[in-house]
């Protein structure tokens, strides 16, 4: 699981900050009713992205370790695994809405979604039901938002 996450987030790590700067004007023109505070939060610095990706790495590593420790029985592991697959679908939906490249879209259909489907099928065959997709979908934006918020604080604190 950690390797699949790493491939996706390396792509995001390398492209998210530059993409957020260049995509802003196009998105503002396409979605004029979005409040300015949303656009301001979209402008990310590389240190913010680095910190947020590192925090998500910690979450994924903890879930993967718990899954290995419990033979996949861990509800934490299965919830994060299900959320991981859903997050890949979100990346693809974002690119469709944007009508172009968005960070994470290259590895989502090639690594994230196939790995998640494979792993969830293995768990099903072993008699372990997947986590609730509703719960995973509800927790996904909370985890991502917390990582971005804390990543922003860590990056600002590090600057001075």
CA distances from 90 to 11, 94, 159 (A): 15, 6, 32
What is the pLDDT, as a whole number, of residue 8? 67
150 pLDDT above the threshold of 80: yes
Q: Report the phi/psi class of residue 104: left, alpha or beta, with left for phi > 0 and alpha for psi in -120 to 50.
A: left
3-state secondary structure of 45: coil
Query: Per-residue confidence at 17, pLDDT binned at 50, 70, 90?
Result: confident
135 pLDDT above the threshold of 60: yes
160 pLDDT above the threshold of 60: no
Query: How far apart are alpha carbons 109 and 85 in whole angstroms?
Result: 10
Q: Convert the pLDDT of each residue in 49-61 to its tens digit.
A: 889 888 998 999 9
93 pLDDT above the threshold of 60: yes
Query: How far apart are alpha carbons 147 and 132 in whole angstroms?
Result: 22
């Amino acid at each position: 699981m950690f390797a699949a996450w790493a491939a996706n987030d390396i792509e995001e790590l390398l492209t998210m900050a530059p993409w957020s700067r260049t995509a802003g004007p196009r998105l503002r023109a396409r979605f004029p009713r979005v409040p300015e505070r949303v656009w301001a939060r979209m402008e990310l610095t590389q240190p913010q992205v680095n910190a947020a990706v590192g925090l998500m790495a910690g979450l994924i590593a903890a879930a993967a370790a718990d899954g290995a420790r419990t033979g996949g029985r861990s509800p934490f592991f299965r919830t994060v695994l299900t959320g991981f697959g859903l997050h890949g679908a979100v990346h693809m939906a974002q690119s469709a809405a944007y009508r172009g490249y968005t960070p994470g879209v290259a590895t989502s259909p090639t690594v994230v979604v196939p790995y998640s489907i494979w792993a969830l099928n293995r768990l099903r065959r072993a008699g372990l039901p997947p986590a609730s997709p509703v719960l995973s979908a509800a927790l996904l934006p909370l985890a991502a938002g917390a990582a971005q918020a804390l990543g922003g604080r860590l990056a600002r604190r590090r600057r001075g």
